[in-house]
Each structure stands twice: as C-alpha cells, then as structure tokens.
A and B are shown apart, each in its own frame.
Chain A
Amino acid sequence: MTGVGAGPVLKVFAALVYAFLLSPVLIVIVISFSADSFIVFPPTGLSLQWYGRLFGHPALMAGLQFSLVIAVIVSVLSLALGVPAAYALAKGNFRGREALANLFLAPILLPTLVLGLALLLFFQPLRLTATIPGLVLGHLCVTLPFVVRMMTTAFATLPDEVEAAAATLGAPPWRVAQRVTLPLAMPGLLAAAALSFLLSFDETVISLFLSGPRASTLPVEMVRYVEGRTDPMIAALSVLLIAGTLVIVIAVEKLVGVTRAIGR
C-alpha cells in the first residue's frame, strides 16, 4: 500500500469491512459484562457475574483443561514429526519427494466433517474414541500438514552452503541441525508451534466426532452448553478465548520479530 491509490472510497470500504468483521466480537465483549440472565443487546446492566460463574462451571473448566492438555501434546508432536519431515522434503533429494509432499498436504483439502467421520469409523474398533490418544491423532491430521508446509518453506529458504560450511568445520549432521539449521529456522518453528496449538485448541468438528463423556474438549463443551441454554456465560468464555489467542499471536510476533532481528 503506497497510500497514493487509497482514495476516500477505498478507505470507507475498508472501514466497513473491518466493522463487519469485528462487530460480532464487540457485541460479544459487551454481552460478556451483562448483568442479565439472558442474551439481550444492549444489556440492561453491567456486572462481572458471568466471569465468576464461568470459573465455577465444572464441565467447561474440565473442557478447558482437557483442551489445553491436548493442544500442548499436539503442538509438541506436530513439531517432532513435522519438522524432520519438512527438512527431508525441503533439502532431501530422493525419489517420490513431490508425491510425498502432496500426500502430506492432502488432509488440508479434505473437509473436516469427512475427516471426522472417517476417524470415528477408523478409531471405533480400535477403542480410540473419547481418549487422549484418539483426539491427539485426530488433531494431528489437521496440524501436521500446516507444520510440514510452513517448515518446508522455512527450510527451503535456508542457504545449503551455510549447513555445508558447518559440516566442513567438523560438525556431524545432528550438530549441524542443533547449531545451525534449527536456530536459523527458529522464527518458523515458533510460528508453527503457535499455529498447531491454536488449530488444535480451536478444532471443533473432529473433536465433536471423537469426544466422549470423560474426554471432551472445550469447543465441544461449549457446543453442548449453548444447545441447552443461552446465557452470557458463553460470551464471557469467548472473550477469554479471544484474549488468550491474541496474547499468543502477539507473543509470537514479538518473539519472531526479535529472533529475526538478532538472526540476520
């Protein structure tokens, strides 16, 4: 954007689009501070009561905890599996590399509804539904393609000669990875970790298929909650989730910015 071409019409249009995108969030924020027992806009009075009652709600709190556990495991596994795969795809030179790269990206193209149903049918006989391993595996189908894709790009932009230089200086391959490749790929790693965390935390459709009574993630608990009631508690929860997401995104932006600054 140079500003030269951005005339008043475009500015108004941009403002309208932003208003359209952000107004639901604003309404949710206002409702979350409502003193009413039902969702009414504008609220007749303001209070923090729904935040207080939220923290006392056992199912939602259990869902939150469960979702956090799943998201952490999924992020760790996504990086552990996705980073080496991405490295091989970016730097390797072997038969079927193209095909493998496409295979890794295939789940992105599948609707999660189809994926969720397929996983349910596949996991049922294995007794993996409503278990942590089951949900983790389900979420990995969503996060891994993204991690592989992001890291393949990150590794592909690293100059080969820098790694070759480390090798000529006496570093065996794992030391090259530890001292050169991974530090240089750190911005990408942080971004990939944050993205897999958020994707897993946010994943609803697959979780709906794979959750059960004692293993149910926060989005699933939220769906169940609003099926039964419509009160501002869910708005309060949404505000907290938005805030949490924002913190992660800003933190990554800062960290990646800082890493870039000290990097190159």
Chain B
Amino acid sequence: MPSLSIQGLTKRYGATVAVDGLSLDVGAGEAVALLGPSGCGKTTTLRMVAGLIEPGDGSIRLDGVDITRQPAYRRGMGYVFQSYALFPHMSVSANVGFGLDERGVGRAERDQRVSQALDLVRLQGLGHRKPKELSGGQQQRVALARALVIKPAVLLLDESLSNLDSKLRDAMRQEIRDIQRALSITTLFVTHDQIEAFTMCDRIAVMEKGRIAQIGSARDIYDDPVSRFVAQFVGRANVLPLTRTGDGLSLAGAPVSVSSVPTGDVDLFIRPQLVKLLAPSEPASGLDRLTGKVTRVSFVGERVEVVVDTAAGRIIVEPPAGTTPPDEGADIGVGWRPADARAFRREDA
C-alpha cells in the first residue's frame, strides 16, 4: 500500500482561503482522519487529493510520485461520497463493476471480484438490485464495495457515515475499520464527528480554517490539546476564567497552578472526567480545588453528569462509573490535578 504525502496544499476561492498551506503525511496502510467543523476545508482537501478539485498551490505525492496535476481518473483512488453517488441506472453489480470495466478487466475476473467485494460488505445476493431498492446502510456498503474493488491506492471517505442512523453508524464504523485494517488500505477520512475519527483512525488531524491545528493519536489530542480550538472541538471541557495575581494565577480567589501559561488573558480548561468530587471540607493534597453547590445531576445514558456552580463558574463533572452521585442542592468540593488542567488565551468575545 502506498503512502500519501501532501505538502503546502492551498486552495483559494476568490478572497476566501479554503485550504491554507496544509501539509500531511499518511503512512502506508495508515488511516488518518481530517476532523473539523464544517467549512474548515477538510472536504476540499479530500477532493484535491482525489483530483476532483484542482489545487491552487502545493503538491500531492503518492509513494513519492507527484500526482498534483493528474486527472482524477488516472489516480486510482477509491472515493466514498457522503451522498454515496451510486449510479441510479445501474444494478448494484454494475455499480461495483464500473471501475473494473474502466480498467479493462475481463468478464470472468470482473464478476469474481465484484462478488468478492459484495461478500466483503455483506451484500451477497443483492447484485441484481437497483440502488434505490436498497436501504441507506446497504447503499453505503455498495459505495464502499465500489471503491474497494478497484484496489485503490488510497481510500478516501467523505463524511461517509453521516447519513446513517446512529445504530447503523456504530456498526459501519466497526466494519469499515475492520476492512481497512484487514486490507491495510491507506485511508484518509473526513469527518466532523470525533467518535468516528477516534474509532476509525490511527491518527487524527484536527483542522481549523484550512490548516491543521494538531495532529496525533486520539489520546494525544484529547489529553494534550495544543490550542483552545482543539480543546473545545475535541471532547468537552470546562472553561473557567483565570485571574493573574502577583506571582501566579487564581480562580475566583483560589490559587491554582497550570503549566505553560500563554501571555494575556487566559482561561482554565479541564475535562469533566478529570474533575473529582470532594466533600466540602475534605483536604485535597496535590489538587487545585473549589467549592460550590450541586445544581443538577443528570443521567446521560451510560454516564452521570453532575453540574456544580462555583464562584468561578459552572463546572460539569463526570464521576467514574459506579460512584454514587451527590444530591442536588448539596454543598460540595471539586478538585483536579494541576497537570490535568490547561490554560489557553481568552478569545475575543
């Protein structure tokens, strides 16, 4: 499986810069997610890799070969569209066999590979159907089989699961990840859904305004976001305004410590899972702490969410499974290890 290397990729539409000097390497057999909010340039990037949009600047290399100006039909990339983009006038088999026909594959081999691909996505026996006779999930599988059957150099997935309902999405996530691993296909995957990015990819590139804000494993990005944007976009975080005191920082009068504090006005970021609930007067060695009142305890499916109002602001706490949640209205303390907190520059409101 080839590796993909993107250098300084740029695309402008008039005055707006959709993709701004983006560089990214995807190793052979690796799955990388482009994660970001809509309008961050992730789909534009994917389309440039596929050859569907011409880059303004920069280069795209496949195993070192420059393909920046190569037309889409010569790139041999498997692209799964958000809309599936199946050929409505062709049967499922004809859809899947399309790329093989274009490669001049003989009838016997073609039929065999089509049926293998349909087996792979568990659609055996549905080859004669028309796309409109299939459910959304089945259409998604046809699109996947059609992209996989050509043995693509790189598999490109564009928000491929966003049109499915949540149960089906869970199943397809696993299925696509399994196929991707089994065939070890170099994959670039565009999504705005962090769960998709986390579960389906080896590395995640968080995109902001046409650039990569941070790239790394799911753990790295979650535990150690490099910017306010990444911290807020990936997972949830409590954001509390910090005040500078003479030699340190304080939260509503309580001194706190955070490593690497940027200049200017800063906010404290702490993940709900990393906040511990403490008895109001419980001494907490090694923890920065605040006191407050429990205003709401809610069961959100598999986890419990405790909302605590403190002098510094509202803090959401997710206690570990199995702990008894406090009563609403109770006085309570919250604390966290200084190493788990981050400080980011305050954004202009």
Contact = CB atoms under 8 A, between A and B. Distances in A.
A159 B83 contact: yes
Contact of A264 (B98, B103, B132, B147): B132
Contacts of B99: 169-170
Interface stretch (A179-187, A200-208, A232-240, A241-249): A179-187
Contacts of B72: 164, 167-168
Contacts of A162: 85-88
Category for how many chain B residues contact A? 20 to 34
Interface stretch (B73-81, B121-129, B182-190): B73-81
B154 to A, nearest CB: 11
Interface string B51-94: 11000000000000000000111111111010101111100000
Nearest to B52: A164
Contacts of A263: 88-89
Contacts of A170: 73-74, 76, 99, 102-103, 150
Interface string A67-92: 00000000000000000000000000
A165 interface: yes
Interface in A157-210: 159, 161-162, 164-173, 175, 179-180, 183-184
B50 interface: yes
A262 interface: yes
- In this complex, the member of B83, B85, B86, B132 whose beta carbon has the largest number of chain A beta carbons within 10 angstroms is B85
Contacts of B85: 159, 161-162, 164-165
B146 interface: yes
Contacts of A172: 71, 73
A222 B66 CA distance: 68
A158 to B, nearest CB: 10
Interface in B287-324: none
A159 B254 CA distance: 59
Contacts of B74: 170
Nearest to A264: B88
Given A175-B102, A264-B132, A166 B87 contact: yes
B328 to A, nearest CB: 50
30 contacts: A161-B81, A161-B85, A162-B86, A162-B87, A162-B88, A164-B79, A164-B85, A165-B81, A165-B86, A165-B87, A165-B146, A166-B87, A166-B98, A168-B51, A168-B52, A168-B73, A168-B75, A168-B77, A169-B99, A169-B147, A170-B150, A171-B102, A172-B71, A172-B73, A173-B73, A175-B102, A180-B87, A262-B89, A264-B88, A264-B132
Interface of A: 159, 161-162, 164-173, 175, 179-180, 183-184, 262-264
Interface of B: 50-52, 71-79, 81, 83, 85-89, 98-99, 102-103, 132, 146-147, 150
Given A166-B98, A168-B78, A169-B99, 9 more contacts: A165-B79, A167-B72, A167-B73, A169-B102, A170-B103, A171-B73, A175-B102, A180-B87, A264-B88
Report the 3 A-B pairs with minimum CB-CB distance, sorted nearest first. A169-B99, A170-B102, A161-B85
